[in-house]
A and B are shown apart, each in its own frame.
Chain A
Amino acid sequence: MSSLVLIVLLPFLGSCLAALLPANARNWEAWLAGSVTLGCAVLALLQYGAVAGGDVLRTTVSWLPQYGLNLIFRMDGFAWLFTLLVSVIGFLVVLYARYYMSPEDPVPRFFSFLLAFMGAMLGVVLSGNLIQLVLFWELTSLTSFMLIGYWHHRADARRGARMAFTVTATGGLALFAGMVILGQIVGSYDLDDVLVAGDLVRAHDGYLWVLGLVALGALTKSAQFPFHFWLPRAMAAPTPVSAFLHSATMVKAGVFLLIRFWPVLAGTEAWSLIIGGAGLATLVIGAFLAIFQHDLKGLLAYSTISHLGLITLLLGIGTPLAAVAAIFHTINHATFKASLFMAAGIIDHETGTRDLRQLGGLRHLMPITTTLAMVAAAAMAGVPLLNGFLSKEMFFAETIDVSGSMNWGLPLAATLAGLFSVTYSLRFIHEVFFGPPARDLPRVPHEPPYWMRFPIEALVLACLVVGVVPGLTIGPYLHLAVVSVLGGATPEYSLSVWHGFNLPLLMSVAALGGGVLLYLVLEKCLPVRSLDKVPLLHRFDGQREFERVLMAVTGFAGRVQHRLTSQRLQPQLMWLVLVTLIAGLLPSLRGVTDLRELPMALDPAFAMMWLIGGICAVAAAYQAKYHRLAALALVGGTGLVVCLTFAWFSAPDLALTQLAVEVVTTVLILLGLRWLPRRLEPKELGIQASLRDRVRRSRDFLIATLGGGGMALLAYLVLTRDQSESIADFFLEKALPEGGGTNVVNVILVDFRGFDTFGEIAVLGIVALTVYALLRRFRPAPESIHLSQQQDDPEGYTPSKDAEEGSLLVPGLFMRALMPVLMVVSIYLFMRGHNMPGGGFVAGLVMSVAIILQYMVGGTEWVEEKLPIRPHVWISSGLLLALLTGLGAWVFGYPFLTTHSPHPVLPLVGEVPLPSAFLFDLGVFSLVVGATVLVLIALGHQSVRSHRSSAKAGDTPDENRQRGAIRWS
């Protein structure tokens, strides 16, 4: 397997594995996640040789080549750098999380989601296909939703997760649309084709659409103004998650996207306006808001927003040099922001609070953490000899470069934002570590364990080394990334620390000095600590707008639903039948209908039988409203006629199955009927149906008649068609030689159409489980909640007592004697199924009839005491058996569900046909038994429950008896 595929696959595999570990295995989880992340990093490092040579590594996994849809993994220098960044910071975060997560937290979920998220992120980075990129993009939204909502018992975590998901996934949808348009413009969804088609795209009419939609995707993901509001709310996540998501991954995905498509989309006025505008606004607003945060992580969140704005603005500027600065700052920001988040997490972990107003003087208690945090914060503020300074200076230089000598707006705004960032960095350090030592903290802080601090040390060291000797450390790798993005347009740039006295240096100095000054002024004149609201900007509440929009959308959807749909079953059915009727009639309007004679003469006995069946059906419909029991009995009559019809026309399989199905359905419906309240006829109530009701009923009657008549007509047309060219011949011909059985119906079910059957039994299992789940929450109508008259015996005979010694003793004995007989019949039907009428389905039904009989005579409690049936086990083992039989074919190199029919010769018995379909049929059998019995038990238990609820309601037996008792006078 190619290592590119492995890099993406490894975290997902690790995620599955992590989910299966026990809940308290913190160390195992950490080892697993650590080795996965480290493995990804090593795999990425191994690619350096090839990537450094300027190659673009590609691995294609064919999927739908005819539609241009393949899984393409692609790694150039930029993707390589990002992969390394994600996996190394991922590793450090895992190490940190091992110590951060408390033993009470369910860590398997945490590490599982974290690894899945990392896999999705690496998928975004390494995607070589536009659609695939969007897929992984949405996967990051989904997994980050899980991570942010990790502490789902907390309302703020749930709300934050939902908001982040709504915003980023909506952006993802926009991105999807944009990518589809882009792919259509270029004529290929392959990233390599798209990247060289920049001129074509920019000249195309659809360019603005692509730009707008892609920008929507990237800006929402990167939390750019005006979509920035989700990021501070996502701080409800555990701090390792924040450190990972908001430094190197999640929010960087948006930046990554913009850089990735920079050669294609950048360089137009619209690009600068949209991307640059959003970046500039975010840069200044984010930095300003960060100053006034009281939550440690909130401050870092807004500073993240602001720094992302800086990167976005650099990309929006559109010059190659700005793009270089953007890539550089992306890496720098990842290192110092991850370390700052981790430091914030340590402070929170050790002191028990993140509130800046409570904290103070921690430098005495945590000197090492203090030092580390100070260096990282200085990098964030852009202090010289740290990595943040370098990229920020490149940024200042670019703002001057594009503005010319007359326009001072952009450099001024940039300096202002730099000034703000110095202020909030200062506030972070000063209020946490300096000043008077904090009192009444929830916990007494001390230095964290060494390995918890290690990730911060590593990252801070990186900040320092890159800041001092950039050319020797980051230089070659950055160059690699820059060349792979910009190609021929790569400008000359210098990474040296000292460029001499120039305007950018002046801006830096101004920002540093101004920032310190601003902090001092704020401390003196406007005590930030006592401010509840951010001055000037508190009116821009993104959350409120978001919720307003969400409410409006939900309300609109509700109104539309209210207008267009109905919760009542009758109108729904009416429309269903009407549409079916019209659809069925359409072909006949085109004159296809030719009514031919039935090819055979009608046997009078058969006609008689059908007359009876028809009468039963019509009578059932007539009785269905007020006399359900009678209707059910009549439906049973019709069912019997159907069985006889099958038998008459030489379809014993169908006849057998139909018979068993009739029995089971009747019993189950009977059990359900008990919960329908009695319906009184108008006569009894002394009322008359209004004219409107009569009209409605006549209409419904007409529709019903037309629908039934239409079905009959359709059946008639099908039956009278010429049958010479049908698939039946194929089955009849191949059943024995290829399916190894003479019962064609069964061979079709378990062999030719085995996959269909597999799907059907899966559906059957799902339906049974759904019925079970629905009935667990079943609340009967108030009229039928009480014990039914029949259940309430005056002498206090419960069903189980009745079966033991009461009136049901003798029938019960008979039925118990019948059980083994029925089981033998069931096994017999099953065994002969492949060659003679029978099979797993019928056998399963007969088996469940045997069990149903026991329930009927013995009552629920009695049977379950004596005969423990575990329907879930039957269902799952049946499904598993069928699946394994199908998979077994793979072992021998055949497609799924290929049947093998060996004929082993056994001693005494002789040659025995033993097709693998037999095992499959056994699975069908087991599932049918399980599903039927599960529904039965679920229904049967309602009666048990009603005994209890009736007792709870305080019904005395007499009241029960009087309610609805038939008077006999």
Chain B
Amino acid sequence: MSPMEQVPLWAAIPVSLLLIIGGLLCVTGALGLLRLSNFYQRIHGPALINTLGAGCFLIASMLFFTVSQSRPVIHELLITVAVLLTAPATTMMLARAAVSRDRRSHRPGVPPHPGQAEGEVHTGSRKE
């Protein structure tokens, strides 16, 4: 018996849709990580997975288990909070590390440290 047969159709359709959309978002994020040209662009891929992708899965999970167990199941909110707390922190630290590295090697287009002379900011240039 497939798990989806445990829930009525009205619930199965949104759950399936959310899972498919989440999966597509994940693939998109992964492709972005693979294909985008520099670090500052690539970092958006995992962010997409972390937020939208994971969000879809979490909602799908809540819906599925609430309906199948006939009681509100909202543990996923805890996961949401944890992801919301950690994902930005990780991303930020990664980005800071990249900025610091680029500044050190005097890479053109990297913003200087606050309080120093402003430079031109353009993060879109490809790696030469």
Q: Which residues of A contact B101 (CB under 8 A)?
A: 966
Given contacts A811-B92, A811-B93, A968-B105, contact A821 B113 (CB under 8 A): no
Q: Which residues of A contact B96 (CB under 8 A)?
A: 807-808, 811
Residue of B nearest to A966 (CB): B105
Residues of B96-121 whose CB lies within 8 A of A? 96-97, 99-107, 113, 115-116
Cβ B104 vs Cβ A814 within 8 A: no
Residues of A807-821 whose CB lies within 8 A of B? 807-808, 810-811, 814-815, 817-818, 821
Residue of A nearest to B96 (CB): A807
Given contacts A794-B113, A795-B113, contact A810 B104 (CB under 8 A): no
Q: Which residues of A contact B97 (CB under 8 A)?
A: 790
User: Residue-by-residue, is A930-969 near B (CB-CB < 8 Å gives 1, otherwise 0)?
Assistant: 0000000000000000000000000000000100011110
For A807, give its contact among B82, B100, B107 (CB under 8 Å): B100
Q: Which residues of A contact B89 (CB under 8 A)?
A: 810-811, 814-815, 857
CA of A815 to CA of B88, assembled, Å: 11
Cβ B92 vs Cβ A965 within 8 A: no
Residues of B72-105 whose CB lies within 8 A of A? 82, 85-86, 88-90, 92-93, 96-97, 99-105
Residue of B nearest to A818 (CB): B85
CA of A966 to CA of B98, assembled, Å: 13
Q: Which residues of A contact B92 (CB under 8 A)?
A: 810-811
CA of A963 to CA of B96, assembled, Å: 22
CA of A108 to CA of B96, assembled, Å: 59
Given contacts A808-B93, A808-B96, contact A794 B86 (CB under 8 A): no
Cβ B106 vs Cβ A968 within 8 A: yes
Q: Tell me, rounded to whole Å, the shortest Cβ–Cβ distance linking A619 to chain B.
A: 16
Interface size class, chain A: 20 to 34
Count B interface residues, CB 8 Å: 22
Residue of A nearest to B88 (CB): A814
Tally of A-B residue pairs with Cβ under 8 A?
Answer: 47
- B contact patch SS: helix
CA of A965 to CA of B101, assembled, Å: 10
Q: Tell me, rounded to whole Å, the shortest Cβ–Cβ distance linking A312 to chain B.
A: 80
CA of A3 to CA of B82, assembled, Å: 68
Is there a chain B Cβ closer than 8 Å to A742's Cβ?
no
Is there a chain B Cβ closer than 8 Å to A789's Cβ?
yes
Q: Which residues of B contact A811 (CB under 8 A)?
A: 88-90, 92-93, 96
For A967, give its contact among B86, B88, B105 (CB under 8 Å): B105
Q: Which residues of A contact B103 (CB under 8 A)?
A: 794
CA of A815 to CA of B90, assembled, Å: 10
Q: Tell me, rounded to whole Å, the shortest Cβ–Cβ distance linking B80 to chain A.
A: 13
Given contacts A795-B113, A807-B100, A808-B93, contact A814 B105 (CB under 8 A): no
Q: Tell me, rounded to whole Å, the shortest Cβ–Cβ distance linking B111 to chain A.
A: 12
For B85, give its contact among A789, A817, A961, A966 (CB under 8 Å): A817
Residue of B nearest to A961 (CB): B104
CA of A967 to CA of B97, assembled, Å: 17
Residues of A771-825 whose CB lies within 8 A of B? 789-790, 793-795, 807-808, 810-811, 814-815, 817-818, 821
Cβ A821 vs Cβ B104 within 8 A: no
CA of A602 to CA of B96, assembled, Å: 43
CA of A807 to CA of B111, assembled, Å: 13
CA of A312 to CA of B86, assembled, Å: 83
Q: Tell me, rounded to whole Å, the shortest Cβ–Cβ distance linking A822 to chain B.
A: 10
Cβ B104 vs Cβ A965 within 8 A: yes
Residue of B nearest to A789 (CB): B104
Q: Tell me, rounded to whole Å, the shortest Cβ–Cβ distance linking A178 to chain B.
A: 71
CA of A941 to CA of B37, assembled, Å: 38
User: Residue-by-residue, is B45-73 near A (CB-CB < 8 Å gives 1, otherwise 0)?
Assistant: 00000000000000000000000000000
CA of A533 to CA of B107, assembled, Å: 82
Q: Which 8 A-B pairs have the closest CB atoms?
A: A968-B105, A814-B89, A811-B89, A807-B96, A795-B113, A968-B107, A811-B92, A811-B93
**25 A-B residue contacts at CB 8 Å?**
A793-B100, A794-B103, A794-B104, A795-B115, A807-B96, A807-B99, A807-B100, A808-B93, A808-B96, A810-B89, A811-B88, A811-B89, A811-B92, A811-B93, A814-B85, A814-B88, A817-B85, A821-B82, A821-B85, A965-B104, A966-B101, A966-B105, A968-B102, A968-B105, A968-B106
- Residues of chain B touching chain A, judged by Cβ–Cβ distance below 8 Å, are 82, 85-86, 88-90, 92-93, 96-97, 99-107, 113, 115-116
- Residues of chain A touching chain B, judged by Cβ–Cβ distance below 8 Å, are 789-790, 793-795, 807-808, 810-811, 814-815, 817-818, 821, 857, 961, 965-968
* 10 further interface pairs, Cβ-Cβ under 8 Å (given A857-B89, A968-B107): A794-B103, A807-B99, A810-B89, A811-B88, A811-B90, A815-B89, A818-B86, A961-B104, A965-B105, A968-B106
